[in-house]
């Protein structure tokens, strides 16, 4: 892909989501696996497909809100009922709880969508003029990479609650795509539904364009000879590669992450699919835009910051200091360090002959500056990762890697 194409807006973003991810899912043996039917996978050339939509009576659904745009709220929460969207593969799956009740509801206009890199989050391709652009994150109970992609009431509630909470995080390099609306069909504790994620980053800034972070370093499936977008950016700006990458991309990711963790106890899973680089018309990186807020929350950090726990479940699935340290390590060392920064450093090495250790040393410095009390919350001398045989739900089993931290 040519860097100039990034400025083409929605179509360009969709192209990167679907096709500029080549070679980026090698961080674990499960990362490239999917049980989604081939026609719903992002990298396939099916241009679009339709979500099934029904009108659900207001008293049969729970609706969660984080300051949705009024046009979007009116589009989904209507006088005749709530527009309830279902992935076609979920709709066809007789094993899905409560589906009989949902299938009995009146059908409404299907929604034309295209998948993003996560497969179960899709972009709406058409919407009325008064409705702002949106993604839908769907209940899709098949295994995609490590996890079964269910979207239960708890996930919906917490994603919206974290979106609401992040409105309080003020940092000039931080922005986010909020899950402003969530709808769950009442079945029982296994209720499921969908999230509506707005395409416009908050806080709003005009004249900005998004690049999913994996598309900075991944290959383009359709143009295998094209240079990675990151290399095109560095060359276009005639920038010094290490300073450009550390100061403009990696340091902002670390700083945003440390702020959310320390100030709000929210452990953003800032890997390369959950972050997008926002650039201006001159290609200058301005902010890191975050998405996907079904994340762990550290109750201890919330308490220290004087904040409540408006989340369902027990926050971080950890009640000992040891378990908390393991989760901090998993999210920072693995999701950010290993699944994201390692690839960026690899591009610097392959295209500019940079010694990756120089990049790591610079980032370690940034990390300790942004997170001065890290040694209290992280395992100082080692890292944790998912156990290879982890179950596909979130009852995660972690294992001690017995290796010193690389990016902190
Ligand atoms: N380069 C990448 N790095 C990480 N994950 C990737 C990458 N490319 C595609 N993915 C896919 O994105 C998903 C990442 O999982 P994660 O739990 O962050 O997202 P999600 O909750 O399914 O959706 P969303 O991010 O839209 O809220 C997986 O399905 C994974 O296969
Ligand atoms: Mg994600």
Is pLDDT above 90 for 244? Answer: yes
Atom of ligand 1 nearest to the CA of 42: 9
Backbone angles phi, psi at 166, to 5 degrees: -70, -15
Cβ density class 60-96: b for 16+ within 10 Å, e for less: bbebbebebbeebbebbbeeebbbbbbbbbbeeeeeb
Class of domain 209-400: mainly alpha
Q: What is the pLDDT of residues 141-168, one digit of tens each?
A: 999 999 999 999 999 999 999 999 999 9
Pocket of ligand 1 (CB under 6 A): 21, 24-25, 31, 117-121, 137, 144-145, 149, 214, 269, 271-274, 291-292, 294, 339
With contact defined as beta carbons under 8 Å apart, do 341 and 407 qualify?
A: yes
d(CA 148, CA 345): 30
Q: Which range is least confidently modeled, 160-169, 181-190, 260-269, 331-340?
A: 181-190
Average pLDDT over residues 200-221: 98
| CATH 1.10.510.40 segments of the chain | 209-400
Using a CB cutoff of 5 Å, list residues around ligand 2, an ion. 118, 273-274, 292
Q: 275 alpha carbon to ligand 2 midpoint, in Å?
A: 8
Best of 44, 90, 145 for a ligand 1 pocket test (most atoms within 8 Å of beta carbon) = 145
341 Cα to the center of ligand 1, angstroms: 16
CA distance 11 to 14: 5
Whole-angstrom distance, CA of residue 124 vs CA of residue 121: 10
Which residue has tokens 């702002």?
132
Closest residue by CA, ligand 1 atom 2: 273
* Percent share of the chain, pLDDT over 70: 98
Cβ within 8 Å of residue 274, ≥6 positions away? 268, 290, 291, 292
Which of 37, 134, 20, 38 has the alpha carbon at shortest distance from 90? 37
Q: Which atom of ligand 1 is nearest to the CA of 31?
A: 31
Q: Name the residue with tokens 């410095």.
A: 365
Q: In the prediction, which pLDDT does 392 show?
A: 62
Distance 162 CA to ligand 1 centre (A): 18
Q: What is the secondary structure of 282-309 as a DSSP string?
A: T--EEEEEE------B-HHHHHHTT---
d(CA 331, CA 309): 20
Identify the pLDDT of residue 189. Answer: 74
Res 315: pLDDT: 74
| φ, ψ for residue 348, nearest 5 deg | -60, -40
pLDDT tier, 87 (very low <50, low <70, confident <90, very high otherwise): very high
Kind and range of the H or E run holding 389: none
Map tokens 């969207």 to a residue: 85
pLDDT higher than 90, residue 241:
yes
Give the ligand whose atoms come closest to the C-alpha of residue 120: 1
What's the mean pLDDT in 322-337?
A: 96
pLDDT at 395 over 80: no
Q: What is the mean pLDDT of residues 386-395?
A: 69
User: What percentage of residues in the chain have a pLDDT greater than 90?
Assistant: 91
| Residue with the larger pLDDT of the pair 105 and 390 | 105
To which H or E segment does residue 25 belong? Answer: none
Nearest residue (by CA) to ligand 1, atom 27, is 292
CA of 291 to the centre of ligand 2 (A): 7
Q: How confident is the model at residue 320 (pLDDT cuts 50, 70, 90)?
A: confident
pLDDT at 76 over 90: yes
Contact assessment for residue 343 and residue 337, using Cβ atoms and an 8 Å cutoff: no
pLDDT in tens, 290-315: 999 999 999 999 999 999 999 998 77
Asked whether the whole model's pTM tops 0.75, one would answer yes
- Which residue owns the Cα nearest ligand 1 atom 30? 118
Give the total residue count for the chain.
Answer: 408
pLDDT at 9: 86
């Amino acid at each position: 892909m040519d860097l100039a194409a990034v400025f083409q807006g929605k179509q360009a973003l969709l192209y990167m989501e679907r096709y500029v991810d080549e070679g980026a899912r090698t961080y674990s043996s499960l990362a490239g696996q999917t049980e989604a039917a081939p026609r719903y996978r992002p990298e396939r050339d099916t241009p679009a497909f339709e979500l099934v939509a029904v009108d659900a009576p207001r008293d049969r659904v729970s609706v969660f809100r984080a300051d949705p745009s009024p046009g979007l709220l009116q589009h989904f929460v209507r006088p005749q009922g709530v527009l309830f969207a279902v992935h076609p593969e979920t709709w066809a799956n007789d094993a899905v709880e409560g589906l009989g009740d949902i299938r009995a509801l009146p059908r409404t206009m299907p929604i034309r969508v295209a998948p993003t890199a996560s497969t179960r989050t899709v972009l709406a391709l058409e919407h009325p003029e008064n409705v702002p652009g949106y993604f839908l994150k769907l209940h899709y109970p098949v295994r995609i990479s490590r996890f079964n992609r269910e979207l239960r009431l708890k996930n919906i509630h917490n994603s919206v609650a974290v979106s609401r909470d992040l409105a309080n995080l003020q940092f000039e390099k931080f922005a986010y795509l909020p899950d402003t609306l969530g709808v769950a069909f009442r079945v029982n504790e296994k209720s499921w539904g969908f999230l509506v994620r707005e395409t416009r980053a908050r806080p709003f800034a005009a004249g900005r364009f998004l690049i999913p972070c994996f598309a900075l370093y991944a290959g383009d499936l359709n143009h295998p000879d094209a240079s990675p977008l990151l290399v095109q950016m560095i060359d276009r700006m005639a920038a010094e590669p290490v300073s450009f990458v550390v100061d403009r991309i990696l340091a902002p990711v670390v700083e945003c992450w440390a702020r959310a963790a320390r100030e709000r106890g929210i452990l953003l899973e800032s890997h390369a699919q959950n972050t997008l680089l926002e650039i201006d018309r001159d290609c200058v990186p301005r902010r890191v835009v975050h998405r996907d807020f079904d994340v762990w929350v550290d109750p201890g950090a919330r308490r220290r910051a004087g904040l409540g726990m408006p989340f369902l479940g027990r926050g971080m699935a950890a009640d000992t200091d040891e378990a908390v340290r393991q989760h901090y390590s998993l999210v920072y060392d693995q999701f950010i360090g290993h699944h994201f920064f390692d690839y960026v450093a690899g591009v610097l090495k392959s295209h500019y002959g940079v010694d990756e250790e120089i990049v790591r040393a610079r980032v370690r410095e940034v990390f300790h500056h942004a997170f001065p009390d890290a040694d209290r919350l992280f395992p100082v001398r080692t890292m944790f990762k998912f156990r290879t045989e982890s179950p596909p739900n979130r009852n995660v089993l972690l294992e001690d890697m017995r290796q010193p931290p690389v990016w902190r």
